[in-house]
Amino acid sequence: MRGGHLRGHSVENQATDRAYRIGQERPVTVYHIITRDPANFPKGTVEEQIHALLQEKQDLARQVLVPFDIQALQHEVVRSVFGDDV
């Protein structure tokens, strides 16, 4: 069974694929142990923070690498500066 978004999918896939290459014929289960420490990490676990950072970077890369509607972006900037009355 493959699942979870907190680790790199390539790392997880590599681990399960290796198990099958060495002869495993039954389903392989991957466990992720995640601990919470609100005193030191009030924004969530380290894994959750890393996932959020990676998601932000992916979103930024999509915005930079994918063509976008410049007029819509300009309109959004004007609205954020001057409000919805514009």
* 3-class SS string, the chain: CCCCCCCCHHHHHHHHHHHHHCCCCCCCCCCCCCCCCCCCCCCCCHHHHHHHHHHHHHHHHHHHHCCCCHHHHHHHHHHHHHCCCC
Q: What is the pLDDT of residue 83?
A: 81
What pLDDT, on a 0 to 100 scale, did the predictor assign at position 24? 84
pLDDT of residue 56: 92
Give the integer Cα–Cα distance in Å for 8 and 32.
Answer: 12
Which pLDDT does position 3 carry in this prediction? 44
Return d(Cα 40, Cα 49) in angstroms, integer: 12
In the block, tokens 């978004």 appear at 5
Q: Which residues of the chain have pLDDT under 70?
A: 1-8, 32-33, 66-68, 86
